[in-house]
Amino acid sequence: MNPKFFIKTFGCQMNVADTERMSALLSELGMLPADHLEDAQVIIINGCSVREKASHKAVSILGGLQELKQDGRGPIIGMGGCVGQLDKETLFKRAPFLDFVFGTDTIDNLPEILHRVKNGERRVLFTDFDPSMDYSTETKVFGAKAQAFVNIMKGCDKYCTYCIVPYTRGREKSRTISEVVDDIARLVASGVREVTLLGQNVNSFGKGNPNASAREPRELHNVIGKVGPKDGEENFPQLLRAIDSDSRCAELKRIRFTSSHPLDFSEELIDCYASPERGGVSRLSPNLHLPVQSGSNAVLQKMGRHHKIETYVEQMDRLRQVCPDVSISSDLIVGFPTETAQDFEDTLALCERVQFDSIYAFAYSPRPGTRASKMQDDVPNTVKNERLNQLLQHQMKIAEKRYASRIGKEMEMLVEGESKNQKVAGGKSGKVWTGRTGCNRVVNFFSENPMDFTGRFVNVKIVAASGLSLQGELVTGDATGDIK
């Protein structure tokens, strides 16, 4: 019988992509995924360090695993992700039964790590960063999938004062455009139809890689001047255009990306959102996640963000001019040190002005090891929580209006699977399916058709909306099985 593995993932899409890679590596060793942790011979916690709470969660799970390791037997247990990268050998002190710790740069060493543990080595530690500035890899997809995460760069050189990522993911380095395009062409040949290009700051993609093919645009600009990689280096708009124009990627339907920093969000990237007739990138999804973090310039300065609210608003206005249907989401932190009531009002005003489709908002908590953790955490927790609730309610009203504006429209969606949240009304047979539109809105629809819609593109007519999702009726495929 094949041995089984179980991976518990915390955190961002980078960690989700890393879990996918670990799963593919383990399946190459003949292992199968376990539905339940108790059935696995290898258990990996892919931990997130971005907030202290998330880090604690990952480590506290370890406590519950101890009983599986009675008498030194039981599954092989490892900790990875940013928690492994940051906490390294201290994790062995906190959980002496832990078999291995690995980091964000050593995922590909997983087969070797397991081999060493199986051969009796104890407390295997693999957390070194690859010191080379080159970054070369091949995307591994676990099972047949229509969607794939493609790492195009890693690391971050921005050093925002509250963020631990530059310490857990290292300095920025990028794959070459030709390598990424070849990788995506291979994924498309295997059935992938949507790729999400991943990096901590994709706007810095290409820094240090010579633009040997003289691709355009050669330089990137925004209102503050030249941004991103220099003339003579590769850059992100070049990559989008290279994927879009490669005949091997003709069957690719969507290109998404995350995440970006407003400082070097460029005019040339905005141009990629235009319609193909106006020189845009035809497969680029009309969706942008651009973290702004606060609506107050004073707070942004304390956060070390090096961008201004006025330029952010200008960028979003320009983007909506070029692509009126674009959906925009953002990250916001409330209660950062020194944030006044007026600063918070400015954040509410920014949401009103930009009309985000969705936000990911958090109450600030200091992350040890960051510069902000040395600032006085002077906004009381009660105030932070009040502001967070107020912000979320404010945003919900905006989102409800924006989502409701889609009612009556026909939209294409990629079905991701059966809805876990929505149930079929009593007495009906069939299933509720869920997926996303090109503009990244969640749509649920009901179908009596017994076929598995997962991984298929279908057209739905939007019949209802909340501030979180849309309700659709299937237009193509239901009666005939003719799925687009």
Q: Which is nearer to ligand SF4, 53 or 401 (CB)?
A: 53
- 3-state DSSP assignment of residue 311: helix
Residue of 127, 168, 174, 201 interacting with ligand SF4 (CB under 6 A): 201
Contacts of 385 (CB under 8 A, 6+ apart): 363
- Reported as half-sphere exposure (CB side, CA atoms, 13 A), residue 160 has a value of 26
Nearest distance in Å: CB 15, ligand SF4: 13
* Measured distance between the N- and C-terminal CA atoms of the chain, rounded to whole angstroms: 39
Max Cα distance, the chain (Å): 68
Q: Which is nearer to ligand SF4, 4 or 51 (CB)?
A: 51
Between CA 3 and CA 31 the distance in angstroms is: 5
CB 327 within 8 Å of CB 439:
yes
Site for ligand SF4 in 252-291 (CB under 6 A): 261
Between CA 471 and CA 101 the distance in angstroms is: 43
361 binds ligand SF4 (CB under 6 A): no
Residue of 130, 144, 159, 385 interacting with ligand SF4 (CB under 6 A): 159
**Of the listed pieces 126-134, 159-167, 338-346, 373-381, which binds ligand SF4 according to CB under 6 A?**
159-167
Report angle CA 359, 22, 417 to the nearest 5 degrees.
55
Residue of 174, 200, 222, 447 interacting with ligand SF4 (CB under 6 A): 200
Among 11, 102, 104, smallest CA distance to 51 is for 11
Q: Is 108 left (phi over 0), alpha (psi -120 to 50) or beta?
A: alpha
Q: Which is nearer to ligand SF4, 156 or 243 (CB)?
A: 156
Pairing status of strand 4-9 against strand 431-437: unpaired
82 binds ligand SF4 (CB under 6 A): no
Nearest distance in Å: CB 361, ligand SF4: 14
Among 373, 289, 389, 338, smallest CA distance to 51 is for 373
156 binds ligand SF4 (CB under 6 A): yes
Residue of 4, 21, 51, 158 interacting with ligand SF4 (CB under 6 A): 158
166 binds ligand SF4 (CB under 6 A): yes
Please give the size of the binding site for ligand SF4, defined by CB under 6 A. 10
Distance of CA 27 to the CA centre of its chain: 23
Residue of 79, 107, 153, 165 interacting with ligand SF4 (CB under 6 A): 165
Q: Which is nearer to ligand SF4, 164 or 465 (CB)?
A: 164
* H helix runs in 233-333, sequence order: 236-245, 267-272, 297-303, 309-322
Nearest distance in Å: CB 101, ligand SF4: 22
208 binds ligand SF4 (CB under 6 A): no
Site string for ligand SF4, 31-70 (x = CB under 6 A): ----------------------------------------
- List the structure tokens of 416: 């991701």
Binding site for ligand SF4 (CB under 6 A): 156, 158-160, 163, 165-166, 200-201, 261
